[in-house]
Amino acid sequence: MECTFTLNYQLPSDNNDMDVIMDRLAEEGCDDAMVGVGQPGRMALEFVREAPSENDAIESAIEDVRRAIPNARLIEAALATT
């Protein structure tokens, strides 16, 4: 099943190098996300991820981001409306 959802994060104040963050996200499996950084210190990731369920897709993405940016704080997770 293909799931589309967005994860919004507060980035740690000592981790502002977006090139490094983008590289880490790709290395940890988040290459299926578009990244937006409109607000300073915030990051939104819009995923289109294959998984058995929506819950599995979101949980796996959260874990991938946690490995890439351990100190980022998840603010919101939202499924795309169709």
Rounded CA separation 16/33 (Å): 19
How far from the centroid of its chain's Cα atoms is residue 3's Cα? Answer: 14
Q: What is the mean pLDDT of the chain?
A: 92
Q: Which CATH architecture has domain 2-79?
A: 2-Layer Sandwich (3.30)
Q: Where are the domains of the chain?
A: 2-79
pLDDT at residue 24, rounded to an integer: 94
pLDDT higher than threshold 90 for residue 82: no
Write the pLDDT tens digit of every residue in 23-45: 999 999 999 999 998 888 899 99
CB 9 within 8 A of CB 45: yes
